[in-house]
Each structure stands twice: as structure tokens, then as C-alpha cells.
Amino acid sequence: MHPLIQEHIPLKLYTTFGIGGVARYFAEANSIEHFLELYSWGITNRQKIFVLGMGSNVVFPDEGYDGLVIRYTAKRFTFQQNIAVVETALSLSALILEAEKINLGGMERLFGIPGSVGGAIYNNAGAHGTEISKFVESALVFEVPREVELDTMRLLDPSNLTIPKPKIVDPGYFKFGYRNSLLHSNRAIVLSTTLKLKERSGEEIKKVREDIAFWRREKQPVGKSAGSFFKNPSLNMSAGYLLDQVGAKGMQEGGIMVSDKHANFLLNTGKGTFTDLMKLSERLAHLVEEKFQVKLEREVEFVQ
């Protein structure tokens, strides 16, 4: 077994919801090289593989994950004029703060969005009229081999099973949409990225960032959650408003409840389970569809 791999690790420790059973195998990869080694081990040993970042938009089931969870933790970064070169486990807010120090901005309206740079690209994270897709210049991605490709390699040469090398892609590769990208379907992993920032006064950046942080403190609850749970159905219709109209605030299922402060925030009160979360989210979506004929879509990924 690879020396970085541990067994039977509680996944609730690695998600902001604090929910989930144990992983059969678990490892942290603090470099691209370690990531590729661990992924290769998982493939060679016929394990299901899930790649985890900061766990801010992911929930694992109560029974855990019967496979290998690789937590990608590589977070080195550098700036070259107005270009940030970033390993994608770096938190989005940390990057914004580092850029501010050298008078580079543009992304400050995204400050406070939980999660990593990689997670932000995966979901095309956005807030206050800004999306991360506006800044992506290129990325190094690892494309997950399809099962049919693996079966062919095993059949032809089982002693020499190889995984594809990461490749550099341009922004068009991602097919960015509202809280969406190609990564949702092809499951490719963004290992590093280059982001084009804007030269601005550090004081100007700080003022916007602090205004955004104040807005978040005023409008959004704190606690074990994944931030906004459902996507907004459209630019002119918020999920929070629809949920408010069906009386969602304060609703509870087991240890999961809807925040009294914001109807699109589901909170783990301490003993919430995946089952509780699934039941409550399904009930909320049903109420909204029944009243408004609008189908809500989760932002949060349920790992099966």
C-alpha cells in the first residue's frame, strides 16, 4: 500500500457539513506528483476514487465511501505580473488576500465564498455579478480514464497499467455556465490554474472585500453548512426567496435544520446525518415545485 494511504478515516472531519461515514482508504496529496501516484494506486487496485478539496460543497453518505478518497491539498502559488499561477487546493479567499497585497484584484467580490480555487472552477463560483470563469486563462487538468479504457489496458497489459498525463487546457474547455462546468460531467480534476487579475489599488480592493464580508455576516448564518444549498433557478429568481415563501425557515429533519436567517442555508445542528439532509432537501424542493412549478437543483454534491 502507498505510504500516504490510511484506512477507515471519518469523512465528516473533512467536509464543512460535518456529515459522512468512513472512507475505506484515505490519503492527502500535497503535490501533483503525489496525486498522480495515489490515483495510479487506486486504479491498479481497482478502487472507486473520489477527489476531495476543502469539502465545502460535498456530502458523503452515512455508510461512508467504499474506495479511495484523495484529498488534494497542493496550494503553492506565484504571481507573474498580473497573472496568478495557483495550485488549486489554495482557498479562494486566501488567494484574493494574497493578490490584494500586491495590488492585484478583480475577484474581491468572490471573497468569503467557501472552498478552494479548484472547487470554485468546478462550480463556476460567483457572487455579486462576478464569476471565476472571467479570470481563468488556462489550467492543468487530469482527465479521469473511463472504465472501458481501464478494462482495455488491463486486458492488453495488466502489468503496465498507466494513467493519462495531465494536460493544459484553455478556458473554452470548461464550457462554463451558471454554477456549472464541463467538470460536472467529465469529472476531470483541475490541478493548477492561471488566473488573469487586474491592477488596482490595494485600498480599493480592501474596501470592496470588507463590504462583501460585512454583507455576508449580515445576510448569511454561521455553522456547519455548505453555503447556499440550492442553485438560483434564474438570474431574476433566487432559491432563498422561493424557500422563504413556502415557510422553509426553521424546518427541521433530525439534526438538519433550515436557518432562521436565510432559507437557502441548511445547517447541521450537531448530530445531522446524510439521510436527514436528503429528506429535508427533498421536502423543500417538493414544496417549491408544488407552489411555484419550479424545480430546484442542488449546488451541493451528494457522493454515492
Catalytic residue positions, numbered: 179, 228, 299
Q: Which amino acid is at 228?
A: S
Beta strands 49-52; 65-72: pairing state: parallel
Cell numbers at 146, concatenated: 473511463
CB under 8 Å to 19, separation ≥6 — which residues? 12, 59, 60, 62, 268, 272, 273, 274, 277
Per DSSP, helices labelled H in 8-81 are: 32-44
- Residue listed under C-alpha cell 422561493: 242
Contact 216, 93 (CB under 8 A): no
Beta pairing partners, 78:
85
Check the CA dihedral 193-94-34-50 and report its sign. negative
- Chain centre distance of CA 197: 22
Cell numbers at 133, concatenated: 470563469
Cell numbers at 94, concatenated: 486566501
